[in-house]
Chain A
Amino acid sequence: MDRRIWRQFDLVLVGIVVLLILYGVIMVFSANQNQEDLRDLWWTQLTRAGLGLGLMVIVAAIDYRYYASLHRFLYVVMLVFLGTLFIAAELTAGTLRWLDFTLFPVQPSELAKIIIIIVTAKLLADRDGEMNKLSNLFFSMMVIVPPLVLIYLQPDLGTTIIAAVIWLIMVLMAGGNLFHIGLLGLGGILASPIVWLTMAEYQRERVLLFMNPDQTDPSYFNIQQALISIGSGGLLGKGFSIGTQNQLHFLRVRHTDFIFSVIGEELGMLGAILLFLLIIGVIWRILRAADLTKDPFGRSICIGVAALIFFQSFVNLGVNLGLLPVTGTPLPFVSYGGSSLFAFLIALGLVQSVLMRHKALDFEEV
């Protein structure tokens, strides 16, 4: 392998991501410091971050174009995983999003998001410049519908929506026709009653709850406590590891979905803005990679990863801030959770891989 390509490795991006991860680790520590059974999670997260960064480097080292040739295989593997999960969930009569691998538990839907990015990127690259045709748009949509349905049936509405939005952004960025997308949106609105009817009871409750808050509901309690946490933080926050909502456990799922509320409470608006800037920084560096890359496949991958990080962050922060109904969506790089962290670092590895090779072509030709 050509060592020179590592010069293109985006250390700034890695640096920002490391800052985000450390930010998360510190807040996980604060969130769980007086709950004995969860006290050591920050360390777990830190070791996983190290592992994940290694994983990122490995992924980056492999030429991303190699994945293009694998896209059919990856697609099938994804469907098999999601299908297995669906059947297993049927058998255990409950939500089952985890498959227990020996190394660590992986949430297939996290990996599914990345595979959807690769597969969609490949399809878009194959039809580069032709995406304004309705047939191409329709074809790429048909390809991602089966995994989305399986994820939706898990049931995991949040991931389904995120994956759909990633696809939408990727298509638009690859030249999708706005009018066609509008038609699609119209179809979506017409189909929404079907979606509503197939939604799981708790999902419907959550949506209804968001629209019409019922103060006696336990889920309302969680949202309300998150808002109180953030709101009571004020400009400067109550101070690290002394947020009352957090330390006295009024805030639930503190170290995962509601980690932002901990930041808002303990570090205040300044801490929140710092987080926003870091996330925007990550997105910017990835979009920079997209802009630098001439290869449509690599570009689409970068756009997909940026869309993933952007939209998932937006959903998580929106839930925390009471702008969106509750979905179990972790905040990229910050929330505790190995599966999500690995998935995002692998995605970052893909971006690095693209970035490292965006000039290599020219060199070889010269």
Chain B
Amino acid sequence: MTDAQIQIRSFIFKTLVLFAFIVLFLQLWNLQIVNGESYREQADANRFRLAQVAASRGVIYDRNGKLLVRNRPVYNVVVIPAYLPEDSTAEARVFSRLSELLNLPITTQLEPVTGLNTGYFHAINHHQYSRLPQRQIINPRSRRYINRPEGIRDAVNANRVFAPFLAVTIAEDVDPIIVSKIEEERLDLPGVQIDISPSRDYIYKDLFSHMLGYIGPIPAEQFENYEGLNYDLTDIVGLAGLEYQYEQWLRGIKGLENIEVDVTGQKIRTVSQEVEVRPGHNLRLSIDLGLQQATAEALQEAMDEVNSKQGVSISMNPQTGEILAMVSLPSFDNNLFSRGITARELSLLSEDPQAPLVDHTIAGLYPPGSIFKIIPASGGLQEGTITEQTTFVDEGVLYLPNLFQPDNRDLAQPFYCWLRGGHGPVNVVSALAWSCNVFFYQVGGGYSPAEYEGLGLTKLGKYAQMYGLGQATGIDLPGESEGLVPTERWKRLNYAETWLTGDTYNMSIGQGFVLVTPLQMLNAYASIANGGTRYRPHLVKEILDADGNLVQQIEPEVIGRLDVDPQYIQLVRQGLWGAINWENGTAAKFFDVPGIDASGKTGTAEFCDNYPACLDRDGRVKTSHAWFVTYAPTNNPEIVTIVFVYGGKQGAGVAVQGSEVAVPVASKILRYYFNIPDEEEEGDGQATDETVTEFDLGTKFKARLLGTDSWSRNEANMSGFVLNAAGQGVSDIPVEVLINGEVVAQLISGETGQFDYSRPDLVNDETWQVRLADFPDAPSLMFDAVEGVRYLVEFEAQPPQETAAAVGTN
């Protein structure tokens, strides 16, 4: 090649270089000068967001300013896939460290990384099988694992290609200690971030569950109700109780601000504030935390004694309608809901026959029994069908003549007094004090042989309504029932039968068709206590803003007045005073609040959930609810308290008298209220507190197949619990597993009553039978085991007296 050629080619090369850079320059010009403005806008669109600022939800205090609900930060661990190390080895290191810290598997695609014997899996097992929510190990991580059984890598890779900057939540509600560890190791864990979201912490858990309610995401089917109120689909709202009722006060106003974000959407700074955020208002309740605790404790104790599964107690200030304590048992832990309840936990709660999710104080409908008697009493006096002097003789039974053959005594229907021997001559005061049925049969329904005309159904109904029965009290809680004050028309429509005098008799003593909520009865007595005014019961006393300034005070609201002459009300009050203060008053024996002048009324309401099992040999109903209402001090009362204990299972065939069960509960509540110490230390020991660890050989069991679960191994697994009647696990109980009739395994229940059995190499169509080896009478469970499935079973001992209906599941 000649020098000239070389120079030409060198020149061409240089020209090419210059040309290339001119092309680059032109493109640079095109981007920066020609389209610069558009790109600047795009860059701004990238980094500026109009973001909502969540308003912190208001908290709730009791009347003394004690916090009942607070907001709690929940720490979630998220991974931003794009920020993970590019090197796959380094990425694996991040995953394995996270796995170690969070106790989560890296992947579940192949086979479980962790073995059965680790604490983590143990926690899951426990979680799965614990039937009662309060006994579950609170392990948020295991909860999440059940909801989303995938490993860290699986979760991260799920959407990695399409949304590399979308934060993937790998663990929710992580222990703050672990969070701080992750923060410390931030440099070694690129791509891992902590995300904080608010949650609700119900400090006293099940003590206030019904009253406070809970929060949760807006149910999809209800979203349209919230749409007009400036809610987003993802917002958390109050779903029950006061959280629901006062949602608009508690929620606050969301702020709107212009923020600068980085590529992950994380806020770097606030640019400007468009709408200022206003935190929710706080509520101050009229509830007294201490009284609530005392009430719940006393009620639970009484229920345990008679083996009752349901109970209610409410205390109220009769002068204002302020509720002081309000307990419905059984209860539940509303934190379950604020954390995000699993489907399983929810179904356990909602399928419980005792309906722990229902607030029985306002939604429970029960026959009022004798506490209803103030209604015929005041009605009769006001209508003039009885006077102070009217006296009937109670012989223990009243024969209502047959409608068509009034003279045939054999056809007459007997109506008994609870005291078989009869009370003798009674007037309205003593009838209330002794709770004489025979007196009120006649006051309500009349007595034709004596040509005495009573109030009759219509007037009885009128007075029942005057006391607020058959209608919601309007308390500031959702879900209140109206109850039922029957009419002739109602009976004809619902039973296609005529109203009979016997029905009026029953109604006069609070039996038969009439149904009330405990709150209605409480409010009825409050109006007696305060001399005739019905106030709307309410829980919220004051609404305060976030700085503690009063926004709204809830004033007492009159919803009705008794159209009864004050002197007649005074007579009723005398009767109620007698019930406690006369030596032979129905509550005298069990009422024990020294130094306090109280009045009250007991009630024993017969009911029959399960006809005819509820009848005794004589054909009389043997199951009954216990009621007691009391107010104190008698003159100018400060507190009115109602106690209701659902029919216990005490003794064979002996109906529990309301006084015996319910009165001591009210005594304890009043003693707490009036600050009167217990004089004698009651022997606490004999209560059912101690854990039963052994069964009598005669114990009856109920066996249940609770459900199935996927099992990621090549085997079938069966796990379960042996529980005593109180629902506690019992250890050292032998459990046999039979396959196709042959005993293949002898298991012993562990400390928590748990037992497990796994079987690999499953032959098709194996039928497993599980039974308690020491209890041949106990039902056994049979099911067809399939590989890859876990069967959750349970043996629960039945209380000794109950005729256990053992249910074997296929």
How far apart sit A338 and B164, CA to CA, in the bound complex (Å)? Answer: 27
Tell whether B88 is near chain A: CB-to-CB under 8 Å.
yes
Closest residue of chain A to B24 (Cβ to Cβ) is A317
24 contacts between A and B (CB under 8 A): A37-B187, A129-B1, A174-B1, A175-B9, A218-B162, A225-B46, A230-B39, A231-B32, A231-B38, A231-B42, A232-B40, A234-B33, A244-B43, A244-B44, A244-B46, A248-B46, A252-B82, A269-B29, A273-B25, A276-B25, A279-B21, A287-B10, A314-B24, A321-B31
How far apart sit A268 and B33, CA to CA, in the bound complex (Å)? Answer: 10
Chain B interface, >50% SS class: helix
Tell whether B344 is near chain A: CB-to-CB under 8 Å.
no
1/0 per residue, CB under 8 A from A, across B250-279: the answer is 000000000011111000100000000000
1/0 per residue, CB under 8 A from A, across B1-30: the answer is 100011101100110011011011101110
Nearest CB in chain A: distance from B153 CB, A: 15
Asked if A229 and B17 sit within 8 Å, CB to CB, the answer is: no
CB neighbours (8 Å) of A250 from chain B are: 43, 46-47, 262-263
CB neighbours (8 Å) of B7 from chain A are: 291
CB neighbours (8 Å) of A321 from chain B are: 24, 27-28, 31
CB neighbours (8 Å) of B161 from chain A are: 218
Nearest CB in chain B: distance from A41 CB, A: 14
Mark out the residues of chain A between 107 and 133 whose CB falls within 8 Å of any chain B CB in the assembled complex: 128-129, 131
Mark out the residues of chain B between 37 and 75 whose CB falls within 8 Å of any chain A CB in the assembled complex: 38-40, 42-44, 46-47
CB neighbours (8 Å) of B162 from chain A are: 216, 218
Asked if A232 and B36 sit within 8 Å, CB to CB, the answer is: yes
How far apart sit A292 and B547, CA to CA, in the bound complex (Å)? Answer: 84
Mark out the residues of chain A between 210 and 226 whose CB falls within 8 Å of any chain B CB in the assembled complex: 216, 218, 221, 225
How far apart sit A231 and B20, CA to CA, in the bound complex (Å)? Answer: 20
The interface size of chain A toward B, counting residues with CB under 8 Å, comes to 53
Asked if B33 and A37 sit within 8 Å, CB to CB, the answer is: no
How far apart sit A307 and B262, CA to CA, in the bound complex (Å)? Answer: 39
Q: Which of B1, B39, B47 contacts A231 (CB 8 A)?
A: B39
How far apart sit A35 and B655, CA to CA, in the bound complex (Å)? Answer: 76
Nearest CB in chain B: distance from A27 CB, A: 16
1/0 per residue, CB under 8 A from A, across B764-777: the answer is 00000000000000
Tell whether B135 is near chain A: CB-to-CB under 8 Å.
no
The interface size of chain B toward A, counting residues with CB under 8 Å, comes to 45
User: Which A residues contact B (CB, under 8 angstroms)?
Assistant: 36-37, 94, 128-129, 131, 169, 172-175, 216, 218, 221, 225, 227-235, 244-245, 248-250, 252, 264, 268-269, 272-273, 276, 279-280, 283-284, 287, 290-291, 303, 306-307, 310, 314, 317-318, 321-323
Q: Which of A94, A252, A269, A287 contacts B28 (CB 8 A)?
A: A269
Query: Assuming the A-B contacts A233-B32, A234-B33, A248-B260, are A228 and B42 also in contact, with contact meaning beta carbons closer than 8 angstroms in the complex?
Result: yes
Mark out the residues of chain B between 361 and 396 whose CB falls within 8 Å of any chain A CB in the assembled complex: none
Asked if B263 and A248 sit within 8 Å, CB to CB, the answer is: yes
Asked if B263 and A234 sit within 8 Å, CB to CB, the answer is: no
Tell whether B186 is near chain A: CB-to-CB under 8 Å.
yes
How far apart sit A323 and B30, CA to CA, in the bound complex (Å)? Answer: 12
**Across the A-B interface, the 9 shortest Cβ-Cβ residue pairs:** A231-B39, A232-B43, A248-B262, A175-B1, A231-B31, A232-B39, A232-B40, A321-B27, A249-B263
Which of A248, A279, A284, A303 is packed against the most chain B CB atoms within 10 Å?
Answer: A248
CB neighbours (8 Å) of B35 from chain A are: 231
Asked if A235 and B31 sit within 8 Å, CB to CB, the answer is: no
Tell whether B190 is near chain A: CB-to-CB under 8 Å.
yes
Asked if A227 and B39 sit within 8 Å, CB to CB, the answer is: yes
Asked if A172 and B9 sit within 8 Å, CB to CB, the answer is: yes
CB neighbours (8 Å) of B268 from chain A are: 248
Asked if B40 and A94 sit within 8 Å, CB to CB, the answer is: no
How far apart sit A256 and B501, CA to CA, in the bound complex (Å)? Answer: 97
Nearest CB in chain B: distance from A318 CB, A: 7
How far apart sit A322 and B5, CA to CA, in the bound complex (Å)? Answer: 36
